[in-house]
Amino acid sequence: MKKLFVLFALLFMFSCGVTVNYDYQKETNFNQYKTYHYFDDMQTGLTELDSKRFFGSLDKALQAKGYTLSETPDFIIDIKATTYQSSQSSSVGVGVGSGGGGVSVGIPVGQGNMSRQIIFDFVDGKTQQLIWQAVSSEPNLPENTPEAREAQFQLVIDKALEGFPPKK
């Protein structure tokens, strides 16, 4: 029971902050795409362990939608992840002055939060044209266990793939 509660708590905590923006070529017939593969020279920005977790979850999600991994793909996927420290939102103000003038300064308190952006680019396998893109943003990345990291990737992937194929 405790493990189930922890899992739900983690999912709730992680789901609150993930946002995804979508863009796509309006004239593209997405029904023609049945197979996928990944770019060979991807520079994902993820660690080797996180890459394995991420692509394992992405494969499962795409296959659940009916797509097949293939050496002759209809579309090719490129992933770019960037982790950055967001600006600090807390500061203490100190001011000195009297009468009509004074000086004040804000002193930052604490550190900014670690955040991550993952860009999903889906490119037509024949024309090499970008056909669909999702940009996910995850504020406040916690330090976590391998299981929690995998759950977070699954959450981001599921949310990103809600928009693929686009509903016209």
pLDDT tens column, 117-165: 999 999 999 999 999 999 999 987 766 899 989 999 999 999 999 999 9
* Pair of tokens at residue 111: 């550190």
For 118, phi then psi, to 5°, come to -120, 125
Stretch 57-86: mean pLDDT: 95
State what percent of residues in the chain have pLDDT above 90.
62
12, part of any domain: no
Q: Has residue 137 been placed in a domain?
A: yes
What is the count of structural domains for the chain? 1
Q: How far is CA 4 from CA 1, 7, 8, 104, in A?
A: 5, 5, 6, 50
Residue 119 within any structural domain of the chain: yes
CATH number at residue 151: 3.30.160.670
Q: Can you tell me whether residue 71 is helix, strand or coil?
A: coil
Angle subtended by helix axes 146-161 and 2-15, to nearest 10 = 50
Look at residue 2 and tell me if it is in a domain.
Answer: no
Top-confidence residue, 13 or 78: 78
Would you say residue 24 lies in a domain? yes
Taking the C-alpha atoms of residue 134 and residue 119, their distance in angstroms, rounded to an integer, is 6
37 occurs within a structural domain: yes
Q: What is the mean pLDDT of residues 3-21?
A: 59
Domain containing residue 73: 17-87+109-161
Q: What is the pLDDT of residue 10?
A: 46
Q: Return the pLDDT at 140.
A: 76
Dump pLDDT digits (tens) for 92-101. Answer: 565 666 666 6
State the pLDDT at residue 127: 97
pTM reported for the whole predicted model: 0.76
